[in-house]
Amino acid sequence: RTDLFCLCEELGVEVEQKMKKSEISKAISESVEAGEIKIAWELLQNAKKEAAAREEREQEQAAAREEREQTAAREEREQAAAREEREREREQAAAREEREREQAAAREEREREQAAAREEREREQTAAREERAALKRLELEMEQQR
């Protein structure tokens, strides 16, 4: 609605939508004194300014609310990503510890097997030395008996 129609409404002047501006102006000037028109016009302009200021405040508040919501959503995403990262790091650490335990167990098993193999070789070598020594003694005894 135009300011002119709003002014007519404020002044209580009956006009129709199809009327021309000049007809509306004439209807206003015939019905109302100039002082009343000026006051009504100022009131109308003040109301428009207040409405514009209110709309601007509402837009600013909506923008601030939207920004807060976006910030909160971004922070939530960042926190979720950080939680996921910590969980992944925990899982990797657990897997690394498990591998290290398995490797340590395998290393200990190899060392036991190697030690057992060394002991077996040493026993075999000792037995072979003892057998050679016994054979040598036997040969010496046989030579001495001849």
Is residue 43 within 8 A of residue 10, CB to CB? The reply is yes
Provide the residue type at 87 as one letter: E
How high is the pLDDT of residue 22?
A: 82
Residue 28 CB contacts under 8 Å (≥ 6 apart), including other chains: 7, 8, 11, 13, 37
pLDDT confidence of residue 111: 98
**Selection from 39, 30, 33 nearest residue 7 by Cα:** 39
Residue 73 has a pLDDT of: 98
* 34-86 confidence digits (pLDDT tens): 777 777 778 788 888 999 999 999 999 999 999 999 999 999 999 999 999 99
Alpha carbon distance 50, 32 (integer Å): 25
Domain boundaries, the chain: 33-145
CB 24 within 8 A of CB 16: no
pLDDT in tens, 90-139: 999 999 999 999 999 999 999 999 999 999 999 999 999 999 999 999 99
Residue 50 pLDDT: 94
pLDDT at 49: 94
Is residue 2 very low, low, confident or very high in pLDDT (cuts 50, 70, 90)?
A: confident
Write down the pLDDT at residue 126. Answer: 97
> What pTM was estimated for this model as a whole?
0.45
pLDDT on residue 3: 79
Question: In sequence order, which residues have a C-beta less than 8 Å from that of residue 25 and are 6 or more positions away?
Answer: 4
Phi-psi region of 13 (alpha: psi -120 to 50; beta: other; left: phi over 0): beta
